[in-house]
């Protein structure tokens, strides 16, 4: 759901809160080292760990973290802050707000998908193969009614009556659009 930059910005924003310039400088150096390590490991084609399934993404995240730590360091130097305060970081706050909006949108889309899926749970989709004679009858009846054969079959299915003895029948009806 989030890009490497989004992940890096979120993590740096949380970790940097309250850090002074020296601590941020350490984080910049650490991120630079991890960026070099992951880029080299990716170039060699070796695995990172049993837990890392996407080495390209890990390398991209460390590159983005390095860039974000540098941005935080530069912001603190420009503004003269003694410690990083995420609330005062206008650009970081804007990005955090955008991430939350995307997250909320994705969660709403997922909830809507789940609701549709639950609504469709009682539906039945079937592929039906009929022999020539019944197929011709269905096609002719559907054509007279101005329907697709599948629509006529759906109307037939909606009117099915199951008797107490298990017999299945459809009372006479006129197909409609």
Confidence (pLDDT) at 2 = 83
List own/partner pairs for 166-174 with CB under 8 A and 24 or more apart.
174/145
Between CA 67 and CA 104 the distance in angstroms is 26
Mean pLDDT over residues 4-12, rounded?
Answer: 95
Q: What integer pLDDT is reported at residue 88 of this predicted model?
A: 96
The answer to whether the CB of 73 falls within 8 A of the CB of 24 is: yes
Burial (CB count within 10 angstroms: exposed 0-12, middle 13-18, buried 19+), residue 141:
middle
**Angle between the N-to-C axes of helices 4-16 and 90-120, in degrees from 0 to 180, rounded to the nearest 10:** 120
For the segment 112-132, the average pLDDT, to the nearest whole number, is 84
pTM listed for this prediction? 0.63
For 83, other C-beta atoms within 10 Å of its C-beta total 13
Q: What is the mean pLDDT of residues 40-61?
A: 76
Distance CA 2, CA 16 (A): 20
85-90 long-range Cβ contacts below 8 angstroms, 24+ apart: 85/17, 85/18, 86/13, 86/14, 86/16, 86/17, 89/13
**pLDDT at 34 > cutoff 90:** yes
Both tokens of residue 53? 């399934």
User: Which residue has better confidence, 175 or 125?
Assistant: 175
**CA-CA distance, 148 to 142, in Å (whole number)?**
6
Sign, Cα dihedral of 105, 106, 111, 116? positive
pLDDT number for residue 29: 97
Q: Parse the chain into domains and list their residue ranges.
A: 4-120, 132-169
For 162, the token pair is 């199951």
Give the pLDDT of residue 52: 63
**Looking at per-residue confidence, does 26 or 44 come out higher?**
26
Each residue's pLDDT tens digit, 143-176: 999 999 999 999 999 999 999 999 999 999 999 8
At 46 the pLDDT is 62
Contact 86, 16 (CB under 8 A): yes
pLDDT tens string 80-120: 999 999 999 999 999 999 999 999 999 999 999 998 888 77
Q: What is the pLDDT of residue 153?
A: 93
Helix (H, G, I), strand (E, B) or coil at 161: strand
Is 51's pLDDT higher than 60? no
Q: With H, G, I as helix, E, B as strand and everything else as coil, classify residue 83.
A: strand
Q: How confident is the model at residue 47 (pLDDT cuts 50, 70, 90)?
A: low
Mean pLDDT throughout 118-143?
A: 87
């Amino acid at each position: 759901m989030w890009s490497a930059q989004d992940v890096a910005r979120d993590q740096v924003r949380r970790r940097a809160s309250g850090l002074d310039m020296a601590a941020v400088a350490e984080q910049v150096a650490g991120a630079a080292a991890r960026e070099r390590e992951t880029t080299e490991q990716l170039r060699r084609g070796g695995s990172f760990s049993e837990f890392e399934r996407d080495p390209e993404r890990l390398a991209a995240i460390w590159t983005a973290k390095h860039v974000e730590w540098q941005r935080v360091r530069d912001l603190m130097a420009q503004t003269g802050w003694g410690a990083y305060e995420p609330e005062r970081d206008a650009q970081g706050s804007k990005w955090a707000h955008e991430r939350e909006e995307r997250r909320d949108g994705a969660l709403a889309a997922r909830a809507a998908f789940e609701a549709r899926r639950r609504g469709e749970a009682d539906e039945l989709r079937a592929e039906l193969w009929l022999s020539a004679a019944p197929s011709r009858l269905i096609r002719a009846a559907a054509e007279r009614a101005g329907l697709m054969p599948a629509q006529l079959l759906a109307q037939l299915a909606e009117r099915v009556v199951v008797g107490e003895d298990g017999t299945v029948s459809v009372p006479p009806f006129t197909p409609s659009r």
